Chains A and B, each alone.
Chain A
Amino acid sequence: MKQETRKEIMFTGFGGQGVITAGYITGQAAAVYDDKESVLTQVYGPEARGSACYSGVVVDEEEIDYLYLLSPQVMVVMSQDAYEKFLPKLQEGGVVIVDSSLVEVDERVKKYRLYKVSATEIAEEMGARIIANVVMLGFVSRIWDAVSVEGMRESVKSRVPRKHLDLNIRAFEKGVELGEKALAKEC
Chain B
Amino acid sequence: MGKTVLTGKHFWYGNIAIAEGAIAAGCRFFAGYPITPASEIAEHISRRFPQIGGIFVQFEDELASMAAILGASWTGVKSMTSTSGPGFSLMQENIGLGAMMEVPTVIVNTQRGGPSTGLPTLTGQGDVMQAKWGSHGQYEIIALSPDSPQEAFDLTIRCFNLAEKYRVPVILLASETIAHSAGKVVVPPEDEIELVYRKKPKVPPEEYLPYRPDEDLVPPMACAGEGYTITTTGLTHNEKGYPDTTAEAQEKLARRLNDKIRKHRKDIVDVKEENMEDAKIAVVSYGQVSRPAKRAVKMAREEGIKAGSIKLITIWPFAEHVIHKWAKQVEYFIVPELNYGQIYLEVKREADGNAQTILIPRMGGTLFTPREIYQEIKKVNKK
Residues of chain A touching chain B, judged by Cβ–Cβ distance below 8 Å, are: 1-2, 24, 27-28, 31-32, 35, 37-42, 44-46, 64-68, 70
Contact partner, A65, options B37, B184, B298, Cβ 8 Å: B298
List, in ascending order, chain B residues with CB within 8 A of A2's CB: 298, 302
The verdict on A67 contacting B184 (CB below 8 Å), with A32-B11, A45-B121 known, is no
Q: Which of B9, B184, B295, B298 has the most CB of A within 10 A?
A: B184
A-B contacts besides A40-B183, A65-B298, 18 pairs, CB < 8 Å: A1-B302, A2-B298, A2-B302, A27-B11, A31-B184, A37-B184, A38-B184, A39-B183, A42-B180, A44-B121, A44-B176, A46-B121, A64-B183, A65-B370, A66-B291, A67-B183, A67-B288, A67-B291
List, in ascending order, chain A residues with CB within 8 A of B292's CB: 65-66
Rank and list the top 7 A-B pairs by shortest CB-CB distance, nearest first.
Answer: A28-B11, A31-B184, A65-B295, A40-B182, A45-B121, A65-B291, A41-B181
> Are B181 and A39 interface neighbours, CB within 8 A?
yes
> Are B369 and A66 interface neighbours, CB within 8 A?
yes
In the assembled complex, the CB of B120 is this many whole angstroms from the nearest CB of chain A, namely 8
List, in ascending order, chain A residues with CB within 8 A of B370's CB: 65-66
In the assembled complex, the CB of A68 is this many whole angstroms from the nearest CB of chain B, namely 7
In the assembled complex, the CB of B84 is this many whole angstroms from the nearest CB of chain A, namely 13
Contact partner, B177, options A35, A40, A65, A67, Cβ 8 Å: A67
List, in ascending order, chain B residues with CB within 8 A of A31's CB: 9, 11, 183-184
Residues of chain B touching chain A, judged by Cβ–Cβ distance below 8 Å, are: 9-11, 37, 121-122, 176-177, 180-184, 288, 291-292, 294-295, 298-299, 302, 367, 369-370
> Are A67 and B367 interface neighbours, CB within 8 A?
yes
List, in ascending order, chain A residues with CB within 8 A of B9's CB: 31-32, 35
List, in ascending order, chain B residues with CB within 8 A of A38's CB: 11, 183-184
The verdict on A27 contacting B182 (CB below 8 Å), with A65-B298, A66-B295 known, is yes
> Are B294 and A44 interface neighbours, CB within 8 A?
no
Q: Which residue of B lies closest to A25 (CB)?
A: B11
In the assembled complex, the CB of A4 is this many whole angstroms from the nearest CB of chain B, namely 14
Complex CA distance for A2 and B10, rounded to whole angstroms:
27
Complex CA distance for A73 and B292, rounded to whole angstroms:
20
Q: Which of B11, B176, B291 has the most CB of A within 10 A?
A: B11
> Are A1 and B299 interface neighbours, CB within 8 A?
yes
Complex CA distance for A40 and B149, rounded to whole angstroms:
11
| Sample of 22 A–B contacts (CB below 8 Å) | A1-B298, A27-B11, A27-B183, A28-B11, A31-B183, A32-B9, A32-B10, A32-B11, A39-B182, A40-B11, A44-B176, A46-B121, A64-B291, A65-B294, A65-B295, A65-B370, A66-B291, A66-B295, A66-B370, A67-B288, A67-B367, A68-B367
List, in ascending order, chain A residues with CB within 8 A of B291's CB: 64-67
> Are B184 and A44 interface neighbours, CB within 8 A?
no
List, in ascending order, chain B residues with CB within 8 A of A39's CB: 181-183
List, in ascending order, chain A residues with CB within 8 A of B302's CB: 1-2
List, in ascending order, chain A residues with CB within 8 A of B299's CB: 1
List, in ascending order, chain A residues with CB within 8 A of B295's CB: 65-66
Complex CA distance for A27 and B177, rounded to whole angstroms:
16
> Are B181 and A40 interface neighbours, CB within 8 A?
yes
List, in ascending order, chain B residues with CB within 8 A of A37's CB: 183-184
In the assembled complex, the CB of B46 is this many whole angstroms from the nearest CB of chain A, namely 20
Q: Which residue of A lies closest to B176 (CB)?
A: A44
Complex CA distance for A40 and B298, rounded to whole angstroms:
23
Q: Which residue of B lies closest to A41 (CB)?
A: B181
In the assembled complex, the CB of A137 is this many whole angstroms from the nearest CB of chain B, namely 15
Q: Which residue of A lies closest to B303 (CB)?
A: A1
Complex CA distance for A38 and B369, rounded to whole angstroms:
18
List, in ascending order, chain A residues with CB within 8 A of B369's CB: 66, 68, 70
List, in ascending order, chain B residues with CB within 8 A of A68's CB: 367, 369
Complex CA distance for A43 and B4, rounded to whole angstroms:
31
List, in ascending order, chain B residues with CB within 8 A of A41's CB: 180-181
Q: Which residue of B lies closest to A39 (CB)?
A: B183
In the assembled complex, the CB of A10 is this many whole angstroms from the nearest CB of chain B, namely 14
Q: Which residue of B lies closest to A46 (CB)?
A: B121
In the assembled complex, the CB of A5 is this many whole angstroms from the nearest CB of chain B, namely 13
In the assembled complex, the CB of B118 is this many whole angstroms from the nearest CB of chain A, namely 13
List, in ascending order, chain A residues with CB within 8 A of B11's CB: 24, 27-28, 31-32, 38, 40
Complex CA distance for A29 and B370, rounded to whole angstroms:
26
Q: Which residue of B lies closest to A31 (CB)?
A: B184
In the assembled complex, the CB of A22 is this many whole angstroms from the nearest CB of chain B, namely 13
In the assembled complex, the CB of B158 is this many whole angstroms from the nearest CB of chain A, namely 20
Q: Which residue of A lies closest to B8 (CB)?
A: A32
Complex CA distance for A42 and B13, rounded to whole angstroms:
11
List, in ascending order, chain B residues with CB within 8 A of A40's CB: 11, 181-183
Complex CA distance for A46 and B369, rounded to whole angstroms:
24
List, in ascending order, chain B residues with CB within 8 A of A27's CB: 11, 182-183
List, in ascending order, chain A residues with CB within 8 A of B181's CB: 39-42, 67
> Are A24 and B37 interface neighbours, CB within 8 A?
no
